Structure formats: structure tokens, C-alpha cells
Amino acid sequence: MTRMTGAISDQTRRCVDTCDECHRTCEHTIDHALRQGGVMVERGVMSTLMDCADVCRLAADMMMRQSPMASTVCMICAEVCRACADACSRFDDEVTRACAETCHRCAESCTEMAGMRM
């Protein structure tokens, strides 16, 4: 059952937007990595990107519906985003640098949200 108690806060909206941006950026980076080939499609990097895209989408969805478990998912999302930022930081191109930066921002936003009650 979904708990909808009214409009979400500005801070929650910003976190949802950051998670949405991170989801899109990771999906774009996956496409980029597949086109580049080589070490960029290394299993660890690709699975980290896919995990990050998925958990960001989940966190955004749960915050939007004001799930009581959203804080827990945001904590996990922050951890996955940090791992993805680290993985993307290993490469030196514009797409992976942008992904690392977006993942860092999302990790910070989700860490703040994890400390709040939804």
C-alpha cells in the first residue's frame, strides 16, 4: 500500500531530481561504455553502472510515493553511487567524468535524505 500524505518537501524533490539525473547519466554511460568496448565493458564496471541506475530509479520512486522505506533505500543508493563514482573515476574521458560527478552529487543528496524521516 502506498502512503501519500501530501506534497513532498523541497529537499525531497531535489533528491528525487538528483536520483533521476544519476539514473539517466548511468544509462548514458552504459551506452558509451558498450560503444567504447575494451576495459570499459569490464564486468565490474558495467554491473556497478547498472546497479547505480537501478537503485537511483528505485530511490526516486520510493521518495515520490513517500514510502516509509525510502530512507533505507536512500542509504543504499548513496553507497552504490559512491562505488559507481569510484568506478567511473578510473577512466579519463568526458562521459565517465560526468558520471562520476553526478554519482558524487547523488550520494551526497541521498546521504542527507537517509538521515531524514520521510
Domain of residue 68: give its range: 10-114
- Residue 5 inside a domain? The answer is no
The b-or-e profile of 36-70 (16+ CB within 10 A means b, else e) is eeeebeeeebbebbebbbebbbbbbebbbebbeeb
- Residue 57 inside a domain? The answer is yes
* pLDDT class of 1 with cuts at 50, 70, 90: very low
- Residue 4 inside a domain? The answer is no
Q: How many domains does the chain have?
A: 1
**The domain spanning residue 98 has which CATH number?**
1.20.1270.360
Residue range 53-80, pLDDT digits in tens: 999 999 999 999 999 999 999 999 999 9
Distance CA 90, CA 11 (A): 31
- Residue 41 inside a domain? The answer is yes
Quote the pTM value: 0.90
- Residue 2 inside a domain? The answer is no
- Residue 92 inside a domain? The answer is yes
Residue range 13-42, pLDDT digits in tens: 999 999 999 999 999 999 999 998 888 887
